Amino acid sequence: MAVVILMLATGVVATTAAWLGMQLLQREYGRYRVTFQQDAVSNLADFFVFLDPAQLWGANVSLAFAAAGLTLLVSESLVIAAAAGLATLLLPRCLLQWARHRRNRQIEEQLPDLLLALAGTLRSGAGLQKGLQQVCLHTRRPLSQELGLLLQQQRMGVSLAEALDALNRRIPNESIALVVAAIKVAGDTGGSLADTLEQISRTLRGRLQLIEKIRALTSQGRMQAWIMGSLPALLIVALNMLDPITMRALWTTPGGWLVLGVVFTLEFIGISLVRRIVKIEV
């Protein structure tokens, strides 16, 4: 009788835990879907790419299932296949964030030359809007896209201050904020905007040179982090090719899965710490 009660209690606990796990998984899935769609639409709009968020989510889920199925065929491990599917599901957001950061850095690198050209246009007697139009024609993407959108907003009736604030929200970095503040202050006080822009251009150019120097000096540390981080994965692949029978326990047993989880967790922590050490804010 005690055995029956124990079995019933175990079944009830297991069923309750499975139900709670499914509820939690469903809630987190819905939350991530909403967040993914919102972030994807917002980030792609910054690149002037407009797509249906539902289609983006469907493509992402399909790609994740395909990656999980392919990994299952190769490794014959449900845990590794689930990890591959989850990584594929999270990958697009990481790629979008990386692309957005790269685009903002390109804009920051283009900004000093644009400010010098705009200052020269203002010294020739042109107004700010006319100067922006002339400079935009000779500026490469992505900065020309942002200037074109700013000018289009002005043609639609948006004030210059509101258009500049929108530009600062789309590109949230210190350089754009400094330029926006200088233009707004010059418009309110009537100061020499050309001199101000030239001074800001020299300041930004010096800042970019300092950033590139720091990046060059810390490049060795970043490379060492990636090399040391990739060595365990390369070693596992090499050992699996040399002795797949012995390495099978690493892929098919709970102990092996635990070892893999610990290894990749420590690798992630190590790479993150090294990147924080070599990342110097200017």
Q: Which of the two residues, 129 and 37, has the higher pLDDT score?
A: 129
16 is a domain residue: no
> Binning pLDDT at 50, 70 and 90, where does residue 86 land?
confident
134 is a domain residue: yes
Residue 59 has pLDDT above 80, yes or no: no
- 212: domain CATH number is 1.20.81
> Binning pLDDT at 50, 70 and 90, where does residue 42 land?
low
Task: Looking at the structure, tell me whether residues 207 and 114 fall in a common domain.
Answer: yes
Mean pLDDT of 224-235: 78
Last residue of a domain, one of 170, 193, 216: 216
Contacts of 201 (CB under 8 A, 6+ apart): 111, 112, 113, 115, 116, 119
Residue 4 has pLDDT above 60, yes or no: no
- Token readout for 237 is 């692949």
Q: Quote the pLDDT of residue 127.
A: 74
Q: What is the mean pLDDT of the chain?
A: 75
Whole-prediction pTM: 0.66
Q: Quote the pLDDT of residue 227.
A: 80
Q: How far is CA 104 from CA 44, 99, 149, 277, in A?
A: 13, 9, 16, 23
Mean pLDDT of 175-181: 82
Q: Which of the two residues, 113 and 26, has the higher pLDDT score?
A: 113
Mean pLDDT of 70-87: 74
189-217 pLDDT tens trace: 666 777 788 888 888 888 888 888 877 77
Task: Looking at the structure, tell me whether residues 209 and 114 fall in a common domain.
Answer: yes
Task: Looking at the structure, tell me whether residues 172 and 241 fall in a common domain.
Answer: no
Task: Looking at the structure, tell me whether residues 208 and 229 fall in a common domain.
Answer: no
Which own/partner pairs from 143-149 qualify as long-range (CB within 8 Å, at least 24 positions apart)? Answer: 143/106, 143/107, 143/110, 143/111, 143/114, 145/48, 146/107, 146/170, 146/171, 147/114
Residue 280 has pLDDT above 60, yes or no: yes
24 is a domain residue: no
Last residue of a domain, one of 187, 216, 245: 216
Angle value at C-alpha 52, between 51 and 56, nearest 5 degrees = 90
Q: Quote the pLDDT of residue 164.
A: 81
Q: Quote the pLDDT of residue 30.
A: 64
Residue type, 224: Q
- 153 in helix, strand or coil? helix
- Polymer length in residues for the chain: 282
The DSSP string of 170-206 is HS-SHHHHHHHHHHHHHHHH---HHHHHHHHHHHHHH
Task: Looking at the structure, tell me whether residues 162 and 228 fall in a common domain.
Answer: no
Q: How many Å apart are CA 64 and CA 91, to the nearest integer?
A: 9
Contacts of 84 (CB under 8 A, 6+ apart): 67, 68, 70, 71
- How many CB atoms neighbour CB 277 within 10 A? 12
φ, ψ of residue 232 to 5 degrees: the values are -60, -40
> Binning pLDDT at 50, 70 and 90, where does residue 50 land?
low
Last residue of a domain, one of 216, 235, 264: 216
54 is a domain residue: no
- How many CB atoms neighbour CB 103 within 10 A? 19
Q: How many Å apart are CA 123 and CA 23, to the nearest integer?
A: 65
Task: Name the residue range of residue 203's domain.
Answer: 108-216
Angle value at C-alpha 35, between 34 and 38, nearest 5 degrees = 85
> Binning pLDDT at 50, 70 and 90, where does residue 106 land?
confident
φ, ψ of residue 72 to 5 degrees: the values are -65, -40
161 is a domain residue: yes
Q: By mean pLDDT, which of 22-36, 89-103, 111-125, 234-248 is the weakest?
A: 22-36
Q: How many domains does the chain have?
A: 2
Residue type, 119: A
Task: Looking at the structure, tell me whether residues 155 and 182 fall in a common domain.
Answer: yes
17 is a domain residue: no
Q: Which of the two residues, 121 and 15, has the higher pLDDT score?
A: 121
224 is a domain residue: yes
Task: Looking at the structure, tell me whether residues 199 and 246 fall in a common domain.
Answer: no
- Contact (Cβ atoms closer than 8 angstroms) between residue 56 and residue 80: no
244-255 pLDDT tens trace: 777 777 777 777
Q: Quote the pLDDT of residue 32.
A: 62
237 is a domain residue: yes
